[in-house]
Amino acid sequence: MMIINLVFSYLNRPIGGERIAVFRIALGMVLFLQAWYFSVIDFIQKDLLDSVLHFPYPYFEFIKVQDPLIMKGVLMLLFFSSLGMMLGYRARLSSLIYLLSFTYLWLIDKGFYNNHYYLISLLLLLMCFIRSDNSLSIMKRKSSASNRVWEEKILLFQFSIVLVFAGFNKLNEWWLIQHEPVHHILQYKAMLHENLLWKSKGFELLLIWGGVVFDLFIVPLLLWGRTRKVAVILFVLFNGINTLLFYDVGEIGIFPLLMLSALILFFPRKDIQSFLAKRFNYNVSLNKKDIEGGVLSKPAVFLLLFYVVIQLLLPIRHHLYEGNVDYTGEAQRFSWRMKSVYKDFTISFKLIDEERNIEANLDPRSVLSVKQYTNLGYYPELILPLSENLRRSAIEKGVREPKIYVEYKVGFMGLPLQYMVDPKVELGTLYYSPFRHSDWILPLKK
């Protein structure tokens, strides 16, 4: 009981609000850039409105594309709410609006998932409960000791597990011995650009081993004062290299900027206060009313602990499934498995009308975007809703009892192409559940 009381007392200790406020401003800027990116690539029109088929998440099938005017309104909400976060205008409400709007967009289709979208949603969820506009905001002009320890620590925790699990996920044969997918990525970069760096074996080894060491140890290096300056330099270099490496061969997007915003949470609070005082004449003052706010009740502490436990368990849930997680794609999402796999694949569907003794080959690209088609190689579960769509389309064209089969081969991490699904099995007989292994996925042959 004494330990619980000590933890409770520590988490509710009042602290200065400048560090969280500066992070809120930086996060708001990054989120504004994310909305701008959606606008530039015309995400709403090309990926949502123009798509013939979407792959919803299990139990979220009710989340669908709406009228074009509504969809474009959602994009505008992203712009306005990110501005609200930057300015500190009702930051929790702004966070909630961005959270609901942004998460709605990427929940429409599994193919839109990537790790930084997931991280953005988690950060915004936390920001809905953190009083980040008590300092450096148009709501309050004076800084105050207006936050609690838990508000900073939960943000630090969230960023830390991203890095640590990314490191643990690299501790496998493919990354450390086969150097995949790094070797493949560098080969592809060398093909696109005549740059000797991409062909350098030494650079490949640096990415392999440097990536593991960085992910596993950068958090303690940032937390320890003696190594913080060096760690900050390494952090900036790492994210700079990631940007250079993946800007044209992967969906890195604003992820490096998002991670760089996390550096603010590792800087000593007194350094941030000193910087604000010298550059902006922004001095600390105490406000008793603010100090009394933000206290976690004991039930709320247990809810916070529950969130922490969930975040620790989700990335390791793949151990409950058979097979290599990167090969099967099962439990691969929401696990911080970043740039951990590449696959070559071929796929073609066959429709058989036994009544009229007709066979027809079906090209899935006729109903899929380029992004959706690429995801077929990484997530075999997607072939089931796709086959159902093809079956319904055939019925509409007069085929009474169409049967759909697939020729689906995958080359995992440079291995020869091999069947991922038995081509003799009718896809309508297969079943997918997010809570158990799909035994129709053929095992990986090395």
Question: Which residues form the domain of 396?
Answer: 342-429
Residue 198, domain member (yes or no): yes
| Contacts of range 326-331, beta carbons closer than 8 Å, 24 or more positions apart | 326/174, 326/412, 326/413, 327/410, 327/412, 327/444, 328/380, 328/437, 328/438, 328/441, 329/378, 329/379, 329/380, 329/381, 330/381, 330/437, 330/438, 330/441
- Provide the 8-state DSSP code for 284: B
Co-location of 27 and 44 in the same domain: yes
At 139, the pLDDT band (50, 70, 90 cuts) reads confident
Of the candidate ranges 11-15, 97-101, 289-293, 346-350, the one whose mean pLDDT is the lowest: 289-293
pLDDT tens-place string over residues 228-273? 999 999 999 999 999 999 988 878 889 999 999 999 999 988 888 8
Residue whose C-alpha is closest to residue 133's, from 95, 176, 182, 175: 95
Consecutive H or E run containing 442: none
Query: Which amino acid, one-letter code, is at 404?
Result: I
- Whether 373 and 387 have beta carbons less than 8 Å apart is answered as no
Q: Is the pLDDT of residue 135 over 90?
A: no
* Shared domain check, 357 and 421: yes
Angstrom distance (rounded) from CA 418 to CA 446: 10
Residue 227: DSSP 8-state: G
Q: Which carries the bigger pLDDT value, residue 64 or residue 133? A: 64
Other residues' Cβ atoms within 10 Å of the Cβ of residue 206:
13
Q: What is the mean pLDDT of residues 39-64?
A: 93
> Does residue 287 fall inside a structural domain?
no
- What burial letters (b/e) apply to 111-150, b meaning 16+ CB within 10 Å? bbbbbbbbbbbbbbebbbbbbbbbbbbeebeebbbbbbbb
Q: What secondary structure does DSSP assign to 95-113, as a single string?
A: HHHHHHHHHHHHHS-GGG-
How far apart (Å, rounded) are the C-alpha atoms in residues 207 and 218? 15
Together in a domain, 173 and 301: yes
- The verdict on 21 and 59 lying in the same domain is yes
Residue 413 falls inside a structural domain: yes
Q: Which residue has the higher pLDDT, 83 or 273?
A: 83
Residues 205, 110 share a domain = no
Residue 60 shares a structural domain with residue 109:
yes
Q: In 3D, which of 364, 376, 389, 368 has the Cα closest to residue 51?
A: 368
Contact 130, 156 (CB under 8 A): no
In the chain, pLDDT over 90 holds for what percent of residues? 72
Residues 196 and 318 in one domain: yes
269-280 vs 18-40: helix axis angle to the nearest 10?
80
Segment 354-379 mean pLDDT: 87
Tokens of 342: 């590449």
How many domains is the chain partitioned into structurally? 3
State the SS3 of 123-152.
Answer: HHHHHCCCCCCCCCCCCCCCECCCEEHHHH
Instruction: Determine the average pLDDT of the residues in 362-378.
Output: 89
Indicate whether 407 pLDDT > 80: yes
Judge whether 173 lies within some domain.
Answer: yes
Q: Tell whether 241 and 372 lie within a shared domain.
A: no
> Do 9 and 302 meet the contact criterion of CB atoms below 8 Å apart?
no
The single residue listed with the structure tokens 């079906």 is 362
Q: Strand pairing partners for 143? A: 284
Residue 337: inside a domain, yes or no?
Answer: no
Question: CA-to-CA distance for 437 and 330, rounded, in angstroms?
Answer: 7
To the question of pTM greater than 0.75 for the whole model, the response is: yes
CA proximity to 377, closest of 350, 404, 344: 344
* pLDDT score, position 286: 53
Q: Are residues 24 and 101 in the same domain?
A: yes
Q: Among the residues of 181-335, which ranges form H helices?
A: 182-192, 196-199, 201-223, 228-246, 255-261, 263-266, 269-280, 288-291, 298-313, 325-328
pLDDT in tens, 192-207: 888 888 999 999 999 9
Q: Is residue 111 part of a domain?
A: yes
The larger pLDDT score, comparing residue 324 to residue 272, is at 324
Q: How far apart (Å, rounded) are the C-alpha atoms in residues 362 and 380?
A: 17
pLDDT of 143 strictly over 50: no
Which of 98, 113, 139 is the last residue in one of the domains? 139
Residue 144 has pLDDT above 70, yes or no: no
In terms of domains, do 62 and 209 share one? no
The answer on pLDDT for 404 being more than 60 is yes
Measuring CA to CA, how many Å separate 433 from each of 331, 410, 441?
11, 21, 13
Nearest alpha carbon to residue 335 among 109, 220, 190, 168: 168
Q: pLDDT digits over 413-439, tens only?
A: 999 999 999 999 999 999 999 999 999
Same domain, 191 and 315: yes
| pLDDT of the residue at 55 | 94
Q: Which range is least confidently modeled, 9-18, 141-150, 369-378, 391-400?
A: 141-150
Query: What is the pLDDT, as a whole number, of residue 243?
Result: 93
Residues of the chain with pLDDT > 70, as a percent, come to 96
- 234: amino acid identity, one letter: L
Average pLDDT, the chain: 91
Residues 123 and 171 placed together within one structural domain of the fold? no
CA–CA separation, 151 and 408 (whole Å): 48
Tokens for 85, please give them: 């976060």
| Lookup: tokens for 218 | 């950068």
| C-alpha to C-alpha distance for 293 and 17, rounded to whole angstroms | 12
291 domain residue, yes or no: no
Residue 274 lies in a domain: no
